[in-house]
């Protein structure tokens, strides 16, 4: 028993938009059993471009019922039937969300006629409702209106049932078939190819551009979770609409996946990633030489094009470090803070003599920063993550005899990667959690 559904809305995601029209056609697999249709007052403004597309205006819905008034009827029509729609996750996310707001919990199986049409009628370039109906000579009366599109989807569904020699409908309805949850444009093989191991996954749009990067301890399970819940937020719905394919890279451990994810986000700058797209520490300690040959050590806001001696979030933290270096190595405040102490023009000490003290101060400071490796032995081939003088150096395979080897030789077996505050934080957290996996070097 099926319920073939189409809705018109005020926008593309459920938790910020309303339904303006709904049509439900009840079908028993052989013929239509009943129809339900109503305009709905969304209790918000219908954007002009939506009104132009659908023909549904503010005046038309002014006296229509709000969703809550028809929610009970809609729930009763849908609760014991398979929910069928063209791009089913869109319609289902709206109706489920608005039913929940009205006190009803809809949990029913779904079928997507986009995915079914691709399987039963392969070879067409596009499978939007308008295109596939043109290909199959299905006339759509009253396009972009709920009942017109629902009626066309019903004819399409009947053709799918009649030509489904390989029983795709039965396969999709059997148990919790993963295809029910996939976005309409994602091939099933992309999900099937994902292993149950740590790694990084990539979502691509129609033009094969990476729009999202994520990490997982279990790639198969994590990617499925993106599609198995009906998050009604704008970003989630837009991502599901845009994703067309998936790829992945396996990693040796969760830590390796976290580090690769961080590097990839900063390298690719994917549209749908929010975190890690900014520098986490606000300030840096920098060294430079002026026109007279004197070395300066100064605090500046984080400069992405320069490598800092050290980074920190609080200005006060940097000032404490710098004041200690000034005091311990008799440095000129005028060359460190640019805001206090003697005027540079009054300093007569030879630059070479002064710079020696500055370099000693920097070397001492760096000597206080840790150099250690984290050896993750959770995998068959242990992986090494190296921090050198407080900076992330890179990762590589680890052999037991490396522990008696010099740091320079170990670095030859490590692939150098970009350093950033987030990765350093990950390694320090991991080292705190697993201190026995931490190996120090002089």
pLDDT of residue 239: 87
Section 372-393 average pLDDT: 80
Domain assignment of residue 277, yes or no: no
Burial class (CB in 10 A: 0-12, 13-18, 19+), 278: exposed
Domain assignment of residue 317, yes or no: yes
Does the pLDDT of residue 441 top 60, yes or no? Answer: yes
Domain finish residue from 155, 180, 205: 180
List the CATH number of the domain containing 221.
Answer: 3.40.1440.10
Domain finish residue from 180, 209, 230: 180
Residue 223 banded pLDDT, cuts 50, 70, 90: very high
Domain assignment of residue 275, yes or no: no
pLDDT of residue 442: 60
The parent domain of residue 311 ranges over 283-368
Tokens of residue 262, six digits: 């961080």
Are 231 and 326 in the same domain?
no
Are 252 and 290 in the same domain?
no
pLDDT in tens, 80-96: 999 999 999 899 999 99
Section 175-192 average pLDDT: 77
pLDDT in tens, 259-315: 999 889 988 999 998 877 665 667 888 998 888 899 999 888 877 778 888 877 778
Domain assignment of residue 278, yes or no: no
How many structural domains comprise the chain? 4
Does the pLDDT of residue 347 top 90, yes or no? Answer: no
Domain assignment of residue 400, yes or no: yes
Are 296 and 264 in the same domain?
no
Are 170 and 28 in the same domain?
yes
pLDDT of residue 397: 80
Residue 194 banded pLDDT, cuts 50, 70, 90: very high
pLDDT in tens, 323-332: 999 999 999 8
Are 25 and 136 in the same domain?
yes
SS (H, E, C) the chain: CEEEEEEEECCCCHHHCCEEEEEEEEECCCCEEEEEEEECECCCCCCHHHHHHHCCCHHHHCCCCEHHHHHHHHHHHHCCCEEEECCHHHHHHHHHHHHHHCCCCCCCCEEEHHHHHHHHCCCCCCCCHHHHHHHCCCCCCCCCCHHHHHHHHHHHHHHHHHHCCCCHHHHHHCCCCHHHCCCCCCCHHHHHCCCCCCEEEEEECCCCCEEEEEEECCHHHHHHHHHHCCCCCHHHHHHHHHCCEEEEEECCCHHHHHHHHHHHHHHHCCCCCCCCCCCCCCEEEEEEECCCCCEEEEEEECCCCCCCCEEECCHHHHHHHHHHHHHHHCCCHHHCCCCCCCCHHHCCCCHHHHHHHHHHHHHHHHHHCCCEEEEECCCCCCEEEEEECCEEEEEEECCHHHHHCCHHHHHCCEEECCCCHHHHHHHHHHHHHCHHHEEECC
Are 199 and 255 in the same domain?
yes
List the CATH number of the domain containing 35.
Answer: 3.30.420.10
Section 219-225 average pLDDT: 91
Looking at per-residue pLDDT, the higher value among 25 and 392 belongs to 25
Taking CA atoms, 121 is separated from 126, 192, 360, 380, 385, in Å, by 11, 22, 74, 46, 51
Section 394-410 average pLDDT: 76
Are 308 and 232 in the same domain?
no
Section 34-38 average pLDDT: 97
Domain assignment of residue 274, yes or no: no
Does the pLDDT of residue 175 top 60, yes or no? Answer: no
Section 377-404 average pLDDT: 77
Are 156 and 30 in the same domain?
yes
pLDDT in tens, 46-63: 999 999 999 999 999 999
Residue 28 banded pLDDT, cuts 50, 70, 90: very high
pLDDT of residue 339: 43
pLDDT in tens, 104-143: 999 999 999 999 999 999 999 889 999 999 999 999 999 9
Domain assignment of residue 171, yes or no: yes
Are 146 and 223 in the same domain?
no
Share of the chain above pLDDT 70, in %: 92
Average of per-residue pLDDT values in the chain:
87
pLDDT of residue 315: 83
Are 137 and 74 in the same domain?
yes
Domain assignment of residue 425, yes or no: yes
pLDDT of residue 62: 95
Section 168-191 average pLDDT: 79
The values of phi and psi at residue 228, to 5°, are -85, -15
Are 216 and 311 in the same domain?
no
Are 393 and 427 in the same domain?
yes
């Amino acid at each position: 028993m099926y319920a073939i559904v189409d809705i018109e809305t005020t926008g593309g995601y459920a938790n910020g938009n309303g339904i303006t029209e709904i049509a439900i056609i009840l079908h028993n697999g052989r013929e239509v059993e009943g129809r339900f249709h109503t305009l709905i007052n969304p209790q918000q403004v219908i954007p002009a471009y939506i009104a132009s597309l659908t023909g549904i205006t503010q005046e038309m819905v002014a006296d229509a019922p709000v969703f809550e008034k028809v929610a009970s009827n809609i729930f009763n029509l849908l609760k014991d039937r398979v929910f069928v729609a063209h791009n089913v996750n869109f319609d289902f996310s709206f109706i489920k969300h608005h039913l929940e707001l009205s006190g009803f919990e809809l949990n029913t199986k779904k079928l997507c006629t986009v995915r079914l049409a691709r399987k039963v009628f392969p070879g067409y370039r596009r499978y939007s409702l308008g295109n596939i109906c043109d290909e199959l000579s299905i006339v759509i009366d009253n396009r972009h209106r709920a009942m017109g599109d629902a009626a066309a989807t019903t004819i399409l569904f009947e053709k799918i049932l009649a030509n489904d020699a390989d029983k795709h409908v039965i396969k999709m309805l059997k148990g919790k078939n993963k295809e029910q949850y996939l976005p309409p444009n994602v091939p099933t093989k992309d999900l099937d190819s994902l292993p149950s191991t740590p790694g990084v996954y990539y979502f691509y749009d129609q033009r094969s551009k990476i729009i999202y990067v994520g990490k997982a301890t279990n790639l198969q399970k994590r990617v499925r979770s993106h599609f198995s819940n009906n998050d009604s937020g704008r970003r989630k719905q837009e991502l599901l609409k845009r994703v067309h394919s998936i790829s992945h890279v396996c990693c040796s451990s969760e830590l390796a996946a976290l580090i690769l994810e961080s590097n990839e986000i900063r390298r690719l700058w994917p549209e749908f990633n929010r975190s890690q797209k900014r520098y986490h520490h606000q300030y840096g300690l920098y060294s430079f030489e002026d026109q007279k040959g004197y070395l300066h050590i100064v605090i500046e806001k984080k400069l992405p094009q320069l490598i800092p001696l050290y980074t920190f979030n609080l200005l006060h933290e940097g000032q404490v470090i710098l004041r200690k270096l000034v005091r311990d190595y008799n440095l000129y405040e005028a060359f460190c803070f640019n805001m206090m102490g003697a005027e540079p023009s009054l300093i007569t000490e030879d630059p070479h003599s002064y710079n020696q003290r500055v370099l000693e101060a920097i070397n001492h400071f760096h000597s206080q920063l840790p150099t250690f490796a984290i050896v993750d032995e959770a995998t068959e081939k242990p992986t090494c993550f190296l921090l050198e003088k407080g900076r992330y150096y890179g990762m590589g395979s680890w052999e037991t005899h490396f522990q008696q080897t010099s740091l320079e030789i170990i670095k030859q077996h490590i692939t150098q990667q970009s350093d950033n505050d987030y990765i350093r934080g990950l390694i320090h957290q991991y080292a705190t959690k697993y201190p026995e996996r931490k190996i120090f070097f002089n």
